Amino acid sequence: MSNNGISTSNAAVAALPKHLLQFAVDQRYDEYTPVDHAVWRFIMRQNTFFLKEYAHKVYFQGLLDTGISFERIPRIEEMNDILSRIGWGAVAVDGFIPPAAFMEFQAYKVLVIACDMRQIHHIEYTPAPDIVHEAAGHAPIIVDQEYSNYLQRFGEVGAKAMQSRKDFELYEAIRHLSILKELPNSDPTEVAEATREVEERQKNLGEPSEMALLSRLHWWTVEYGLIGTLDQPKIYGAGLLSSIGESVSCLEPEVKKLCYSVDAANTAFDITTKQPQLFVCQDFQHLRDVLEEFASRMAFTVGGLEGINKAIDSTKTATCQYSSGLQVSGTFTEVLLGGDEQPVYLRTAGPTALAYADQQLEGHGPTSHAEGFGAPIGRWRNADAAPENLSDDQLRTLGIQEGRTATIDFESGVLVTGRVEKIMRRDGKLVLITFSGCSAKLGDRVLFAPEWGVYDMAVGERVSSVFHGAAHKDAFEQVAVVLKERTIKVPSDAKRRKLENLYQQVRGIRERKVGYERLGEIWETQQAEHGDDWLLSMEIFEILDDVAEQNALKQKIMTFLNQKKLMDKDKSTLVEWGFRLVTYHKTGVQIVAH
């Protein structure tokens, strides 16, 4: 079963939270044209031909295990059946989605599949994510358990990465440029302007955020990674596996090969062109080691003042988690420091929610704290332990009991006085004390006044973790910005439809193995009406060579294709690859490209 392209039978997809499902779209499978399927077939057959020697052995095992068709574009439902065998799933999305959402899908073991199909003029490489990249690049390699674990862990880490407003602006610019570049007959002036915009935003990114740095590590491994030795690496990155141009050129000496380490995060990338250098890991465990090294420095691991400042700088919803486990989610605006320059009080503005173990606490949603939230951090005077570890008896000794007025004197100098209405624990830890008639001060500064209402005081010796987004996103109703600009399906005019019909006829002849006598008429029509097309000629040439018929027609087509090679440098490479594939299938001898 599926609903709007969303599988309900795949366990990984069924477990997705609502805030991620908003990105899922219908695949619009019936809109793929016979030309789209022909482009898919050409790329898949070329990839397996070239990559036998160059790809990590897992890739070919993965192609066999996933059973992805070489003959036609797969349906998302089929991808889900395939991926469910290895505990993964897939959803269709529209082009690039925001990095945090992309990462979170990965954490849930769901591949996001951009369902557009690259156009024939981008057959070697497309700047936009497409179904070749996702289905033929990512899916086969994740059959390896060690790599699959790395990918999921990367998603978990990436989903928590702090990001900046400038990150999102850069993402918007890259998405816009990729859409324009994939559009046939796009206005060169508009493309140039969009390119300038991307370059400008890349230059003015400032200090890269955690997400920006992690995106680089993702790019240099999951997308463009090499594995093995520096002098004879193999390909495992999906961007390379799905690019028949770059999968060959990336191994040339002109492309620098560097040892992969956490320092790769300092190397930016350009999504719209081929890469001048690539990083080589020793094995998939090496990837995990580098990721954990990077994660050990992130705000969700270290918390503290550094993490809180990242939350404030982001100007977006973030979560500060206390050492008690209490999670405060909102837009952080201020942190007060004590004499030792350590954080002693936090502030948010606007809707704020409290959670524990990523589940919102009852009565503490964003509407309950709609005007913001303030909370002290730190130990209390006259207490021998961190406040979250104090027992009920220890609280009573300090004069803290429900129904009684109490004063809590923090070591930082924060002073809280009021009537204790409720003491909340989770898993034995003290997480929240609710006061009425409460005042909170730091020296002369009023942090909370009795007339402001109920005061919910967070409890915790320190802020142990800070991460992007709300702790309980669905309850927080954190709806991400879904961009209005949709990727573009190529408009089909009468001439284009006639060409598509010719492709459909050739496909029918190849699959049914009858009607070979009609190939000459089809080719003459293509020559007369669609002289710039080369792929249909290659498909007819391949059939004629396979069945050893109509040699005169085959020679005519070969002459036409060889003329294409001479007239157009880009088509020259593609035609040459097509001929090599025909030779290989006839003789079984692989001609290695150099």
Rounded-to-integer distance, Cα 224 and Cα 236, Å: 8
Reported as a single tens digit per residue, the pLDDT across 4-50 is 446 568 999 999 998 898 888 888 899 899 999 999 999 888 887 87
Structure confidence at residue 396 as a pLDDT band (50, 70, 90)? very high
Average pLDDT over residues 279-308: 97
pLDDT of residue 94: 81
Structure confidence at residue 570 as a pLDDT band (50, 70, 90)? confident
Strand positions, DSSP E, 100-172: 110-114
Between residues 118 and 54, the one the model is more confident about: 54
Q: Give 466's strand partners.
A: 320
Average pLDDT over residues 371-399: 96
Answer yes or no: are the C-beta atoms of 116 and 182 closer than 8 Å: yes
Rounded-to-integer distance, Cα 219 and Cα 224, Å: 6
**Is 80 exceeded by the pLDDT of residue 140?**
yes
Average pLDDT over residues 53-62: 87
**Kind plus residue range of the DSSP H or E element containing 33:** none
Answer yes or no: are the C-beta atoms of 127 and 272 closer than 8 Å: yes
Reported as a single tens digit per residue, the pLDDT across 330-341 is 999 999 999 889
Amino acid at 351: P
Going 142 to 144 to 148 to 150, the CA torsion angle's sign is negative
Rounded-to-integer distance, Cα 310 and Cα 163, Å: 8
Q: Is 55 helix (H, G, I), strand (E, B) or coil?
A: strand
- Give the rounded distance of the alpha carbon of 498 from its chain centre: 38
Average pLDDT over residues 55-62: 88
**Is 80 exceeded by the pLDDT of residue 405?**
yes
pLDDT of residue 590: 46
Rounded-to-integer distance, Cα 488 and Cα 268, Å: 28
**Kind plus residue range of the DSSP H or E element containing 228:** strand 226-228
Mean pLDDT check: name the lowest of 41-45, 57-61, 117-121, 468-472. 117-121
Answer yes or no: are the C-beta atoms of 162 and 310 closer than 8 Å: yes
**Counting beta carbons within 10 angstroms of the beta carbon of residue 496, is it exposed (0 to 12), middle (13 to 18) or buried (19 or more)?**
middle
**Is 50 exceeded by the pLDDT of residue 1?**
no
pLDDT of residue 199: 79
- What DSSP string describes 69-116? -SSSPPPHHHHHHHHHTTT-EEEEE-S---HHHHHHHHHTTEEEEE--
What is the bridge-based pairing of β-strands 414-426 and 359-360?
Answer: unpaired
**Is 80 exceeded by the pLDDT of residue 123?**
no
Q: What are phi and psi of 250, to 5 degrees?
A: -65, -20
Mean pLDDT check: name the lowest of 5-19, 115-129, 345-359, 535-549. 115-129
Amino acid at 215: S
**Is 50 exceeded by the pLDDT of residue 594?**
no
Rounded-to-integer distance, Cα 265 and Cα 393, Å: 50
Between residues 364 and 176, the one the model is more confident about: 364
Amino acid at 503: Y
Residue 556, both tokens: 């005519």
Q: C-alpha dihedral over 574, 256, 234, 578, to 10 degrees?
A: 10
Average pLDDT, rounded, for the chain: 88
pLDDT of residue 592: 41
In 3D space, the residue among 86, 95, 88, 87 whose CA is nearest the CA of residue 113 turns out to be 95
> How many residues belong to the chain?
594
Gyration radius of the chain over CA positions: 29
pLDDT of residue 124: 66
**Is 90 exceeded by the pLDDT of residue 390?**
yes
Rounded-to-integer distance, Cα 313 and Cα 534, Å: 53
Q: What are phi and psi of 276, to 5 degrees?
A: -80, -20
Q: Give 432's strand partners.
A: 424, 458
**Counting beta carbons within 10 angstroms of the beta carbon of residue 539, is it exposed (0 to 12), middle (13 to 18) or buried (19 or more)?**
buried
Rounded-to-integer distance, Cα 151 and Cα 140, Å: 13
For the chain, the first-to-last Cα distance in angstroms comes to 47
Rounded-to-integer distance, Cα 564 and Cα 560, Å: 6
**Is 80 exceeded by the pLDDT of residue 566?**
yes
Structure confidence at residue 65 as a pLDDT band (50, 70, 90)? confident
Answer yes or no: are the C-beta atoms of 112 and 134 closer than 8 Å: yes
CATH code: domain 2-293 is: 1.10.800.10
Rounded-to-integer distance, Cα 301 and Cα 312, Å: 17
With a CB cutoff of 8 Å and minimum separation 6, the contacts of 428 are none
pLDDT of residue 404: 97
Average pLDDT over residues 229-234: 94
Q: Give 48's strand partners.
A: none
Rounded-to-integer distance, Cα 73 and Cα 39, Å: 9
Structure confidence at residue 487 as a pLDDT band (50, 70, 90)? low
Between residues 373 and 81, the one the model is more confident about: 373
**Is 90 exceeded by the pLDDT of residue 175?**
no
What is the bridge-based pairing of β-strands 277-281 and 256-259?
Answer: parallel
**Is 90 exceeded by the pLDDT of residue 287?**
yes
**Is 90 exceeded by the pLDDT of residue 557?**
yes
**Kind plus residue range of the DSSP H or E element containing 322:** strand 318-322
Mean pLDDT check: name the lowest of 394-398, 479-483, 528-532, 585-589. 479-483
Per-residue CA distances from 490 to 179, 183, 195, 391, 497 (Å): 11, 7, 21, 67, 12
Answer yes or no: are the C-beta atoms of 91 and 112 closer than 8 Å: yes
Structure confidence at residue 587 as a pLDDT band (50, 70, 90)? low
Q: Alpha helices of 446-550 — where are they, by DSSP H?
A: 473-476, 494-512, 519-529, 535-547
Between residues 58 and 386, the one the model is more confident about: 386
Structure confidence at residue 62 as a pLDDT band (50, 70, 90)? confident
Answer yes or no: are the C-beta atoms of 277 and 224 closer than 8 Å: no
Residue 293, both tokens: 């090294």
